[in-house]
Structure 1
Amino acid sequence: MINRVSLHTFCERLKSSDLFKDSFWALAGSALGKGLSLLAGIAVARFLGKEVYGEYGTIRTTLFYIAIVSTFGFGYTATKFVADYISEKPEKLKSLVWTFLKITLVFSGLLALVQIIFAASIALFIDAPNLEFQLRFFSLLIILNGLQTTQIAILSGFKKFKETAKINIYTGFVVFIGSIIMTWFWGLTGALGALMLSFVVQVILNQIIIRHALTQYNSNEKVSRSEIYSMLGFSIPVALQESLYTIVHWIGLLLLIHFANYGEVGLSSAAALWQSVVIFVPAMLKNVMFSYLSSSDNHSSLINKLLLVNFLSSLLPVSIVILFSGFISSFYGVSFVGLPKVLNISAAAALFICLSEVYCYEFISRGKPWIVFIARLVRDMFILILTYIILQQINESQAYWFALISLIANGIFLILLHLRYRYVK
């Protein structure tokens, strides 16, 4: 009886809190936006087939991984600093926001230029010389993805979750309709074009909301150099973590290409898309969680709530994907043989990922990003070394083994973070 009353009280308090309201809006927009993106991905896979979809996944992944590095860790830093400056230095908000955007634009622009110059070499490196044009032309995605990541982080600092939700819905429709029409007429190039179009729309809409948010503050002073150095000092370990993520996952992609073929890459890409669907609730709540952790005085209580939210919000979709993996795979067409078992493992790994991210947000919000970097380094090196060893020994189901190794590594990663948080202060 006590447990029931306590649970009821907890739920009532949660529903009346700003955290619940902001989480609701983050989820409401993301649910429709992510659902439309998922349908678009299935349509693209059916139109292109397993091999060409593997090429699409390779280009998309390569450009997005580079874009992750281009944000220079501002996906977390911008949220924390904007939230801090609203209460402490509102007179410098405008300067702070434009500093984040300018650094992201310059850094992502340089990486996009490198991509354009070395597109031919990269195409040969991934054993797909026919993709040189796509790699060069769609380098703009690096800039667009970098900008929208920083913009969303800034909007999270302002707690503009309702506005962000609406933008996610608009861009979801753009990528869904655009992917069907443009892939039908222009194949691989059309699919990438639809993706780029959705990012253009999102960046424009994000910037409109940011401008409107800044009008509420009398921000005429500029941030000092020491403040910029402090901001960059916080970002560096976060940027290293994101760079590590990029390097490790890209090398994993190369290992699949080298030891298998683009068909296995296609299976891995399809499973990765569904894994992102499974974790979409925690992923969309990332900025909400980090924003509240950055301004909370009672971290222990908030961590327990966030762990429960992430567990419950990921358990149901994980179960659905595992139960209906065969049915889901049937939508991709007959060429996607072997997808169900890859889906099952990727979905199960998502549960560990969702829980471990809460600890990552906590350490970063408390100014301890190096702990997260070291833990992720150990995990990712484990994934790469074991993948290299295993793939040399097998001749089939390489995507399945890659997913299984990731499952094991993320389970260990979660345990290490939990032990560090509970027993080392």
Structure 2
Amino acid sequence: MLKSLFRHSSWNAVATFSHQGSTFVSNFLVIKLLDHVTYGKFSLVTLTAFYAANVLQFAIGLTASKFVARYVADDDRLRSAIWVCGVFTFASGLVGFAILALSSAILARSVFIEPSLTWPLTVVSLSVPGLIGMVFLGGLLQGLHEFRALAISSMLSGLLFVVIMAAGAWMDGLIGAIWGFVAGSTIRCMIMGGATMLALRSVVIGRSVSWRKVRSEMSEEILRFQIPAGLAGFITLPTLWLIPTILTRSTQNFSDVALYSVIFMLKSLVVIPASVISLALQPSAEKACALDQFEEATRIFRASSLAAFAFATVAALFVAICAQKVLTVLGQSFAVAAFELQLMMIAAVAEATAVSLYMRIQATGRMWGSIFATLLPRDLTMLFIVTAFAASYGLRAAIVAHVAGATVNLIGVYWLSVKAVGRLGLSSGTVQSSRLS
């Protein structure tokens, strides 16, 4: 199990850090090429596309990873799962593009109170199909345990993403950076699609059509998992989008939005190791649960939680101690938010720990419970704080909202994960007893 952890986590780390690292580097270059206020507008526009895509993908990455890993040895069910998830991805990408393009004027004038953002929002809507496609393809490769293919495609596409987006910002300011974001996201999806086709060539593609017989059955099974998992995204992601939106409306200060975007990005970098470990071990946990190997699943869960907490704590302490220096690297004007960055590190550790614990909830299918026990309390807490205090405290209110929300979420996830593991142990004991009898 430890060998599996190291091998899968190392390749998944390369993939994740290539993807997130390229996003960070490209944003760093855009910050240097644009002024503070313009970068605030850029981050608000691209965050809108990102969250629109992540809402409309409806947990397709988690779903693909779960069912591909579970049925990797069953060709018919594997092909059916890929077909169902692929059709959904294509349809949701087109729907997302249409919705964001048609609503761009309303968002710019009525939500952001900045009519000049109408055309940038229209342009960025073109990135939605590619963003959704990347989520599906990443989940599919993880389910197949093709972390090496995922890593190589992420490195190549990440390098091109940085070059294209920086070139766009250099040539045409805000709108050029957004065109670069669109082109880079589309190219990323295409490269990952090529890597996926190569990975599937020896696993799935063939002449048999018997998989169609189980397509309806698989659709029902997938929907039972995807609906609650997708609804969780419908709750969570709008909240993450509403926080900078409320901050913009309350202060009309795009500098605060720029600071918030940078702090949120640094927080995400701290949480990455927990996500890497969890994503790498989730397929193994799914297999262990499917085979009723309770002790093996428990070892996987425990290793994931300890590793995630350790990495997040060390990284958060480093960022908190060096907060002013870290922000100065991005620009002297960002150093004023050093205290807010230190505060956000509390949320980073809580979020990283919750990510590792959430593996247990996902593996045991307690997705409905996670909505009511963790997501709703967390998001309502965050929205209340930012709505009540953003006008008076600006950026600091948004950061405090994240800290409070992450703490509430961790409490709920821990409670639900304990119940999930207890249920898994009871189920395993029942299966073993029936086999003995």
1:40 deviates by 2.0
CA distance in 2, matches of 1:205, 1:417: 35
Partner of 1:7: none
2:13 is equivalent to residue 19 of structure 1:
no
Query: Once the two structures are superposed, what CA deviation does each residue of 1:139-161 show, in whole Å capped at 9, x if it has no partner?
Result: 12111111110110011110010
Tell me, what secondary structure is at the counterpart of 2:330? coil
Query: Does structure 1 conserve the Cα–Cα contact (< 8 Å) formed by 2:41 and 2:254?
Result: yes
Query: Once the two structures are superposed, what CA deviation does each residue of 1:166-206 show, in whole Å capped at 9, x if it has no partner?
Result: 11111221122223322111111222222222222221122
Query: Does structure 2 conserve the Cα–Cα contact (< 8 Å) formed by 1:19 and 1:292?
Result: no
1:423 deviates by 5.7
1:271 deviates by 0.6
CA distance in 1, matches of 2:330, 2:25: 11
1:241 deviates by 0.6
1:53 deviates by 1.1
- 2:99 maps to which of 88, 91, 114: 114
Query: Does structure 2 conserve the Cα–Cα contact (< 8 Å) formed by 1:30 and 1:169?
Result: no
CA distance in 2, matches of 1:49, 1:328: 19
Partner of 1:64: 50
Partner of 2:276: 284
1:407 deviates by 0.9
CA distance in 1, matches of 2:331, 2:355: 34
2:407 is equivalent to residue 416 of structure 1:
no
1:33 deviates by 4.4
2:406 is equivalent to residue 407 of structure 1:
no
Q: 4+ residue stretches of structure 1 with deviation over 4 A?
A: none
Query: Does structure 1 conserve the Cα–Cα contact (< 8 Å) formed by 2:281 and 2:300?
Result: no
Query: Once the two structures are superposed, what CA deviation does each residue of 1:209-235 show, in whole Å capped at 9, x if it has no partner?
Result: 222232223553224223212211210
Partner of 1:123: 108
Partner of 1:96: 81
Query: Does structure 1 conserve the Cα–Cα contact (< 8 Å) formed by 2:100 and 2:125?
Result: yes
Cα 1:232–1:409 change in 2 (3 A) is same
Could you say which structure has the greater relative contact order, defined with CA pairs below 8 angstroms and 6 or more residues apart?
A: 1
Q: Where in structure 2 are the equivalents of 1:332-347 lying within 5 Å?
A: 332-336=330-334, 338-347=336-345
1:32 deviates by 4.3
CA distance in 2, matches of 1:107, 1:172: 24
Q: Which runs of 5+ in 1 are unaligned?
A: 1-12
Partner of 1:321: 319
Query: Once the two structures are superposed, what CA deviation does each residue of 1:370-419 show, in whole Å capped at 9, x if it has no partner?
Result: 12111111110011112222224x2x4x2122112211221232123223
Partner of 2:227: 236
CA distance in 2, matches of 1:35, 1:254: 25
55-64 or 30-39, which deviates more? 30-39
Cα 1:103–1:32 change in 2 (3 A) is closer
1:342 deviates by 2.1
32-41 or 169-178, which deviates more? 32-41
CA distance in 2, matches of 1:83, 1:379: 30
Tell me, what secondary structure is at the counterpart of 2:334? coil
Partner of 1:4: none
Q: Which runs of 5+ in 2 are unaligned?
A: 423-437
Query: Does structure 1 conserve the Cα–Cα contact (< 8 Å) formed by 2:153 and 2:195?
Result: no
Query: Once the two structures are superposed, what CA deviation does each residue of 1:108-145 show, in whole Å capped at 9, x if it has no partner?
Result: 21121011112111111211211111111221211111
1:36 deviates by 3.6
Query: Does structure 1 conserve the Cα–Cα contact (< 8 Å) formed by 2:8 and 2:281?
Result: no
The CA RMSD measured in Å over matched residues stands at 1.9
Cα 1:194–1:317 change in 2 (3 A) is farther
Cα 1:109–1:90 change in 2 (3 A) is same
115-124 or 171-180, which deviates more? 171-180
Query: Does structure 1 conserve the Cα–Cα contact (< 8 Å) formed by 2:8 and 2:147?
Result: yes
Cα 1:19–1:205 change in 2 (3 A) is same
Matching residue's letter, 2:399? A
Q: Where in structure 2 are the equivalents of 1:48-197 lying within 5 Å?
A: 48-87=34-73, 89-124=74-109, 125-197=111-183
Tell me, what secondary structure is at the counterpart of 1:362? helix
Matching residue's letter, 1:352? A
Q: Aligned residue pairs: how many?
A: 407
Matching residue's letter, 2:321? L
CA distance in 2, matches of 1:56, 1:237: 32
2:38 is equivalent to residue 47 of structure 1:
no
Query: Once the two structures are superposed, what CA deviation does each residue of 1:75-128 show, in whole Å capped at 9, x if it has no partner?
Result: 1111111112212x2134234213211111112211210111121111112112
Query: Does structure 2 conserve the Cα–Cα contact (< 8 Å) formed by 1:329 and 1:336?
Result: yes
Matching residue's letter, 1:385? F
Partner of 2:14: 28
Partner of 1:377: 376
Query: Does structure 2 conserve the Cα–Cα contact (< 8 Å) formed by 1:171 and 1:201?
Result: yes
358-367 or 193-202, which deviates more? 193-202
Tell me, what secondary structure is at the counterpart of 2:69? helix
CA distance in 2, matches of 1:293, 1:400: 39
Query: Once the two structures are superposed, what CA deviation does each residue of 1:7-47 show, in whole Å capped at 9, x if it has no partner?
Result: xxxxxx62xx2222011111134334433432221121122
2:261 is equivalent to residue 269 of structure 1:
yes
Tell me, what secondary structure is at the counterpart of 2:331? coil
Tell me, what secondary structure is at the counterpart of 1:206? helix
Partner of 1:246: 237
CA distance in 2, matches of 1:403, 1:85: 42
